[in-house]
Every structure is written in structure tokens, then in C-alpha cells.
Amino acid sequence: AQKVTQAQTEISVVEKEDVTLDCVYETRDTTYYLFWYKQPPSGELVFLIRRNSFDEQNEISGRYSWNFQKSTSSFNFTITASQVVDSAVYFCALYYNQGGKLIFGQGTELSVKP
Amino acid sequence: EAGVAQSPRYKIIEKRQSVAFWCNPISGHATLYWYQQILGQGPKLLIQFQNNGVVDDSQLPKDRFSAERLKGVDSTLKIQPAKLEDSAVYLCASSARENTEAFFGQGTRLTVV
């Protein structure tokens, strides 16, 4: 079965703390794509990153970084020096070729307090 | 470049009534998705189009929900008749190809009373 699990329902941190959001996926496909999206209080899902299954290089974009490990089927997202504006719900998603579907995890609500 | 447009933004209807949502994807995007997002949950895929053909509609409650994508561009999602449990945000998204990033509209918040 194809599945995305975000075990952390809610995380609360104080501004400037680092925080890691976990994502574990299941798929039998050898070719697949992983995504992270941010959903601020306004409600619109905002694309953050896309990774294909053949590229395990970690990526850094400003305060954001992503750790992709096929051995543990994980695609974790770290925010360094968090800010209040990072408060949102974050979703991990999986696109798998067999059936060609884009499915989402349940989301992690991040609250960054000043 | 214009984003994904959805209308209406909000809709309140009584149970057993009908409702339709409209989506205009990003120009040139072949893949179009409709998702249902119930409060506190992740988006659930209802139907996925590739151009004007259906790729997946396995989670679409076909006894009451229908969707079409005419000419491979705009799409409409209809609910007839609505139930209380249909209260949710309905999100439309499009992507250039099936495995590329999907861009989302602002959604339609449906309340069934």
C-alpha cells in the first residue's frame, strides 16, 4: 500500500529554535517523488520542495533543509532558527508512478511562539 | 503567471441540495486534481485528470459526486445531493505533468447545514 505518515500532529517551539518535521512513506514503486507543502492560516497550500527517488542528496534552501533517506523511507524537514511566520501546517506528499497518484500525509501543525 | 483559480470561495447549502465548484488551472498544465480537506486532516484525492481523461477517481463517492474537465482545461466538481459530512474545503490543483509539483488554488469552503 502507498502511504505517507506524519506522526507528529502538533509541534510548539519558541522562536529561534530549530525544529524537525518527520515524514515516513511507503511505496512499492522504485520511481517516486516526494514533496513538502506549507499551509498557512490563509489555507492555500504552498509548494516547498520536490525530490525524486533517485536523488538522495540533502537540500538546503535558506533556513530550510531536507533529509531524504531511502534506507528508512523518510523525508524529514528541518527549519533552522524558526520564526513566527513559520507557523503553519506542513504536509508531506508522495507521488507514485503505479496508478499515478499524489497522496498526502495528515500534516504537522507547527506553532512558533515569540 | 496566473495561479489556479477557484470559485466560489465560500458556499453554505442545506443538506440534500446541489452545489458545483469551478476550477481554472494554470495555463498549459495537463494534470488537474480535486482534493477534499476536512478540518484537521490532510487533503484526500477525489479525482485526477490527465488532459480531459480521468486517471484516478477511486475515492470519489460516485453516487453523489461528479467531475468533468471539458477540453482539458477548466473543471467542475458537483455534489448532488449534499450530506452534512461533505462539509470541507475543496481544493483544486494543477501540475505541468503528473509527477511534477502541483500548484493549489485557494479552495472552496463548503458548509452543509
User: Which residues in B lie closer than 8 A to residue A104 (C-beta atoms)?
Assistant: 35, 42-44
Q: Is the CB of B43 less than 8 angstroms away from the CB of A33? A: no
Catalogue the E-assigned strands of chain A: 3-5, 10-14, 19-21, 24-26, 32-39, 46-52, 59-61, 64-69, 74-79, 88-96, 101-104, 108-113
Q: Is the CB of A44 less than 8 angstroms away from the CB of B104? A: yes
Q: Which three cell numbers stand for residue A2?
A: 502507498
| pLDDT tens digits, one per residue of A20-74 | 999 999 999 889 999 999 999 888 999 999 999 998 888 889 999 999 999 999 9
Q: Is the CB of A101 less than 8 angstroms away from the CB of B103? A: no
A64 vs A78: CA distance, rounded Å: 6
Nearest to B85, CA basis, from B64, B68, B99: B64
pLDDT of residue B1: 64
Q: Is the CB of B42 less than 8 angstroms away from the CB of A107? A: yes
pLDDT of residue B2: 81
| pLDDT tens digits, one per residue of A90-107 | 999 999 877 778 999 999
Residue B91 contacts A, CB cutoff 8 Å: yes
pLDDT of residue A100: 77
Exposure class string for B82-103: b at 16+ Cβ within 10 A, else e: beeebbbbbbbbbbeebbbbbb
What stretches in chain B show pLDDT beneath 50?
none
The C-alpha of B15 sits at a distance from chain A's nearest C-alpha, in angstroms, of 25
Q: Is the CB of B104 less than 8 angstroms away from the CB of A95? A: no
